[in-house]
Amino acid sequence: MRIKEVVETPEIEVKERVTLDPSRTAVVVVDMQNDFVRRNGRLYVPDAEKTIEPILRLLKKAREAGARVIYTQDWHFKDDPEFRIWGEHCVADTWGAEVVEELKPQPNDVVVRKRRYDAFFGTDLDYVLRHVVKADILVITGTVANICVLHTAGSAALNWYRVIVPIDAVSALNRFDYLAALRQVSFLYRGDLTTVEGITFEGVKTVS
């Protein structure tokens, strides 16, 4: 049996402006890797390339303000059990696992490698946020919106981080998954939705 039903999308609030303290904020770039973003990647997400430019604009603002940047990398060993679901992808030390060239991490950024959807599961992300970058506000971007972005946002919220998701800086495999993810971030986890343009930082201090 299959279910196919047309349903009305609940109203999802998107805030025009969100102002953040850069000293408490980290921008998290989730899985913007070749296997997801490039057309010849193993798990290509059609809208992922469109988010590169908005993410770049956000990273520029964040770095100039002194906010920290954290990248997650899906990072699997050969024969990972997850391949039963999605097929082989983001195998350690392969081209597919690399962050796309346009978004390559800078020396002051942090890279967290993860085995599962949730960037907190089995990683030191919580330790890094609390004790290294000292951030309790997370601006979460990247792909896939209803999978790794949503699971990471959910864990962040349940650990009492404030979560902000710029809607033009996340992507999904289809429109339904995209809207469902935004709905869950807003309704279930009480995160703030906005746009890259809508994010501003108080006390901007240019970092040379």
Query: Which of 35, 74, 80, 114 is an active site residue?
Result: 114
Please confirm, yes or no, whether 136 is among the known catalytic residues.
no
Structure tokens at 154: 């959910």
Catalytic choice (31, 35, 118, 168): 31
Q: Is 155 left (phi over 0), alpha (psi -120 to 50) or beta?
A: alpha
Q: Please provide residue 91's backbone torsions phi and psi, each rounded to the nearest 5 degrees.
A: -70, 135
Q: Is 90 a catalytic residue?
A: no
Task: Give just the sign of the alpha carbon dihedral 133, 134, 137, 143.
Answer: positive
**Would residue 148 show up in a list of annotated catalytic residues for this protein?**
yes
What is the maximum alpha-carbon separation in the chain? 59
CB contact set of 146 (below 8 Å; sequence gap of 6+): 172, 177, 178, 180, 181, 184
Contact residues for 189 (Cβ-Cβ < 8 A; gap 6+):
153, 154, 157, 158, 163
Choose the catalytic residue: 74, 90, 109, 148.
148
Contact 141, 37 (CB under 8 A): no
Catalytic residues, by residue number, are 31, 114, 148
